Structure 1
């Protein structure tokens, strides 16, 4: 099938995410871990424009460092388009223009947001008519964070993180993100966590085989209470990320001295997420951290998942 490159164009926007809570279970025989996470989609986005074409190609631009972004078949958006074409029996192609706003290798699911946006854009462009459930199933085959990038809002993720159920979150939560020029490899961070747990096995409680999101986290989200959420927020990967990049601990302390209710490593890091009391407090915190020489961004959540933009 040969298609005109200018016959149609679809624009989809998908959000990055913060893990406001992440408990990591014990390592499984296959080397993976079950997790229990409370995700919140926040107002930093990946934009994908899909245009009909003869083959599947991409071009990547953005406001973040793109050095680590693959621009070939390793790219998660390309893999998403190929997977959808295979499932739907589509014989044509697509050109994906990706504009990245989520920090790369920053623990905020930017690549997963690209994949989610590509699935939604190609489904609309090609008229494949997949259901939300079918798109989520395809997303889970691409990566654990892709289904949440499709869903957005606030959700609890179990298993590998892709067994999702929506979580009620009232009101708005304001965050200040501090990004870094370096990235952290997710497998490397998990390996460092396993090494830490082995090293201190006599001093710390063993991980649960089936981790859970603690009730205090869900209560705080349901109440829309930032102070309560600050008390309950936790990330088991934080100790590993700080071991690999000790300088992150200094920035966490700076943020809390500057007025953050809490500071946590987002996902596998190195992005740091500081929870503020409200919008005004977040703006003040952003100013203080920027003045201290950090790249700081004020965002809010929850926001919707991957959506077509008119």
Structure 2
């Protein structure tokens, strides 16, 4: 089979398309032929050795796959062969999604409804679960909220889920007019340009969901009301200093971190994915596609993410 790996850290050019043995499903496993594989910002950071954890090399990245079951190992019902499934590798501590085939615990597979494309199902895995748990941990009914990176994979879904959950007002922040218009089309009431000086001062948010980090986190403090909450849910570093924290304490404001993996149990993962798959299949959630690239063009997919010009989810697809 073909798979994309990197054997050294560096720019997108270090991603190589290689021939590898097709996995053989072991006891309790299923072999899935990849139809779509998600590309995430943390994989870009990992490839450049800028992630929080340095992975051992060589590495085939990719933690979310959708596809069709091709074969099963001992102890797995053969009726599963041919099923359309999602493979949440991130939830079982695995990578390897940038490949034509993956083998995984059959019990971890989640059915993909017939009315949902593989590309859209892939977009709902990491990003969909992140958005779902953000609003679950931070109830938004009757509140004014601000979402940064509002046109991204998480932000675009977070806006829609917050609207469904009864947010009073949704303020989107994004860096281009195209992205701000997209956020408004998804249900935001207002869209701000966070490249402008003092952009956050008039927001008046009860909850700020910061999906960017860095200097944006500090700017987001100006958007908070008294007793407001800043939720930090970005992959990058944050630029808050002691004085910033003290100012928040004086305003009775709170700071909350977010990490998806500790929130996932096997049973809840399957239920939550099934719920958001259903919402998308029924047209109640709009999936924003940021681009579709063949597996062999994984480097181009990474370049697209690094350009910061994309909106929504970028996926790799199998050829043929």
Name the TM tier (shorter chain): under 0.3
When the two structures are superposed, what TM-score results if normalisation uses the length of structure 2? Answer: 0.26
Select the structure with the greater relative contact order (CA < 8 A; seq sep ≥ 6): 1
